[in-house]
Amino acid sequence: MDADIEGVPQEVSTGSLPAGDRVQRSVDEAHARYRDRDEGEVIDSIPELAEADPALFGLAVAPTGGDVHAAGDADVQFTIQSISKAFVYALVCEAHGHDEVLERVGVDNTGYPFDSVVTLELNDGHPKNPMVNAGALATTALVPGDGAAERWEHVRTGLSAFAGRRLEMDDAVHRSESAVNQRTRAIAQLLESYGRITTDPLDVVDVYTRQCALLVSARDLAVMGATLANGGVNPLTGERTVSPHVCRDVLSVLAVTGMYEKSGDWLFGIGMPAKSGISGGIVAVAPGKGALGAYSPQLDSAGNSVRGQLAAAYLSRTLGLNVFASSAAGGPRG
Ligand code: GLU
């Protein structure tokens, strides 16, 4: 479908968050409501991640203009895991442009687990989207740089700009995942066999495994998401990370694919583009308004943090973050 709208100005469709004290109250309430919920399991596929304290629960909301509102363990650091895919995709779209990246990696949900090879085989080695491992590896392979070390530095610097501070890598998690990521290596080599990765696939896997091991907090995730909500400008530092159209593209991909096989359920219930990771983080974005970051390591069967989802549902409802919600002009809200 080609609407021939290249060059037509992009108008925006956004509102604003409630006042800061109201936001803080909702964040506190969300934390209090769900901190004692005890469903879900801590991931054990990466041995080092199995050590996480299941009781941890941090929440933060970062508006596009103003201070971050946080509750609970919002400053506890954990590895970003798959949430890195969203921001690396943004960096790669910024570097190569929408069309070139779309040719390499699609934007549709697979309906399969993130580490599946099934859809790659069914689609002539063309990854369906950048949030499953096949698409994430094809995306990381497109990171600018001469060799793995330069690519890794580009990723780390880029994600740090989203967070507004220099992010460190957790060496133990990187080592731990590197020892058990045979499936990721297999996917990278499969991509190479289809000609979708043209550099050394194991170098790509290492950059990918490093990006997954970057340490962030719920507060960082909120700021990173708020940067996507703010047309690419970090609301705390004022630094431009990527262009507004890249933010729009990333958020549309997240809406369709960000919450594993539960992306539709999430969008139906919560109505925000979002990404989660298997260490228990979630970032969810309200374009123009801000973003929330959540961390709690107990996951549902798809790999999404249970407390994080509950809190996001509450915050989406109370702060007007659901991008699909409206009311009749002048009429009551339903
Ligand atoms: N590093 C993990 C992997 O590739 C990330 C998984 C995730 O958070 O979804 O297996």
What is the reported pLDDT for 332? 61
274 and 222 within one domain = yes
pLDDT at 206 over 90: yes
pLDDT digits 0-9 by tens, 253-290: 999 999 999 999 999 999 999 999 999 999 999 999 99
How far is it, in rounded angstroms, from Cα 313 to Cα 292?
A: 11
212, 228, 246 - which closes a domain: 212
How far is it, in rounded angstroms, from Cα 173 to Cα 170?
A: 6
Site to probe by mutation for ligand 1, drawn from 46, 78, 80, 81 as the one with most ligand atoms within 8 Å of Cβ, is: 81
Q: What CATH number does residue 227 fall under?
A: 3.40.710.10
pLDDT at 309 over 90: yes
pLDDT digits 0-9 by tens, 228-243: 999 999 999 999 999 9
Closest approach atom of ligand 1 to CA 115? 10
- Residue 324 domain-assigned (yes or no): no
205 and 96 within one domain = yes
- Residue 306 domain-assigned (yes or no): yes
Residue 193, token pair as written in the block: 């066999």
> Quick check: 301 and 307 in contact, CB under 8 A?
no
> Does any ligand 1 atom lie closer than 6 A to the CB of residue 184?
yes
Domain that holds residue 119: 84-212
208 and 92 within one domain = yes
Task: Identify the CA nearest to 208 among candidates 151, 282, 165, 164.
Answer: 151
132: confidence class by pLDDT, cuts 50, 70, 90: very high
Q: Which residue has the tokens 């950048």?
A: 130
Site to probe by mutation for ligand 1, drawn from 112, 183, 212, 214 as the one with most ligand atoms within 8 Å of Cβ, is: 212
> Does any ligand 1 atom lie closer than 6 A to the CB of residue 303?
yes
* Long-range contacts of residues 189-192, Cβ cutoff 8 Å, at least 24 apart: 190/117, 190/120, 190/121, 190/125, 190/134, 191/120, 191/125, 191/127, 191/134, 191/137, 191/138, 191/141
156, 183, 212 - which closes a domain: 212
pTM of the model: 0.96
What is the reported pLDDT for 334? 57
pLDDT at 8 over 90: no
Closest approach atom of ligand 1 to CA 183? 10
Quick one: average pLDDT of 9-17? 78
- Residue 242 domain-assigned (yes or no): yes
Quick one: average pLDDT of 100-118? 93
What is the reported pLDDT for 2? 74
> How far apart are the CA of 270 and the centre of ligand 1, in A?
23
185 and 94 within one domain = yes
Q: Determine what percent of the chain is predicted with pLDDT higher than 70.
A: 98
> Does any ligand 1 atom lie closer than 6 A to the CB of residue 133?
yes
In this structure, the residue with its CA closest to atom 6 of ligand 1 is 82
Closest approach atom of ligand 1 to CA 181? 10
Closest approach atom of ligand 1 to CA 276? 8
Lowest-confidence range among 4-18, 279-293, 304-318?
A: 4-18
149, 178, 212 - which closes a domain: 212
- Residue 3 domain-assigned (yes or no): no
* Long-range contacts of residues 108-116, Cβ cutoff 8 Å, at least 24 apart: 108/256, 108/257, 109/256, 109/257, 109/261, 109/263, 109/264, 110/257, 111/261, 112/261, 113/260, 113/261, 114/82, 114/260, 114/303, 115/183, 115/184, 115/187
How far is it, in rounded angstroms, from Cα 281 to Cα 229?
A: 18
What is the reported pLDDT for 242? 98
Site to probe by mutation for ligand 1, drawn from 42, 83, 87, 133 as the one with most ligand atoms within 8 Å of Cβ, is: 133
CA distance to 148, 183, 290, 303, per residue, from 282 (Å): 28, 24, 14, 11
Q: How does DSSP assign 47-97, residue by residue?
A: GGGGGS-TT--EEEEEESSS--EEEESTT--EE-TTHHHHHHHHHHHHHH-
pLDDT digits 0-9 by tens, 144-189: 999 999 999 999 999 999 999 999 999 999 999 999 999 999 999 9
37 and 67 within one domain = yes
Split into its structural domains, the chain has a count of 2
Q: Determine what percent of the chain is predicted with pLDDT higher than 90.
A: 90
Lowest-confidence range among 57-61, 189-193, 234-238, 323-327?
A: 323-327
> Does any ligand 1 atom lie closer than 6 A to the CB of residue 49?
no
